[in-house]
């Protein structure tokens, strides 16, 4: 299985879209000490996920509509998308 959402989205992404998809602005904000605590970071992460159509479950999980083991596998001690 490939990650058709990520593949399709990356090929058609505008520069700002790519920045949002990679959470680049949030990472830069964290590195520049723009956040007071982890909860502030998570608020922005949840907002970014929502804008991308990703549903969150509880505070820090996402609903992927499939079983995790059908999408991901561990290869060379790294979590990877199944292909």
Tens of pLDDT along the chain (83 residues) come to: 444 444 444 444 454 555 656 678 888 899 999 999 999 998 888 888 888 788 888 877 778 787 878 888 898 988 888 87
The stretches of the chain forming alpha helices (DSSP H) are 4-11, 15-21, 24-31, 38-51, 68-71
The structural domains of the chain, with segments of one domain joined by +, span 4-81
The structure's pTM equals 0.54
Residue that the structure tokens 């999408």 belong to: 71
Query: What pLDDT, on the 0 to 100 scale, is given for residue 21?
Result: 60
Query: What pLDDT, on the 0 to 100 scale, is given for residue 33?
Result: 93
Query: What pLDDT, on the 0 to 100 scale, is given for residue 34?
Result: 93
């Amino acid at each position: 299985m490939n990650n058709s959402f990520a593949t399709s989205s990356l090929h058609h992404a505008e520069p700002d879209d790519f920045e949002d998809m990679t959470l680049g602005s949030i990472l830069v904000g964290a590195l520049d000490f723009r956040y007071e605590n982890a909860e502030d970071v998570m608020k922005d992460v949840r907002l970014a996920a929502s804008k991308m159509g990703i549903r969150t479950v509880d505070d820090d999980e996402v609903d992927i509509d499939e079983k995790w083991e059908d999408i991901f596998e561990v290869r060379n001690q790294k979590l990877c998308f199944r292909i």
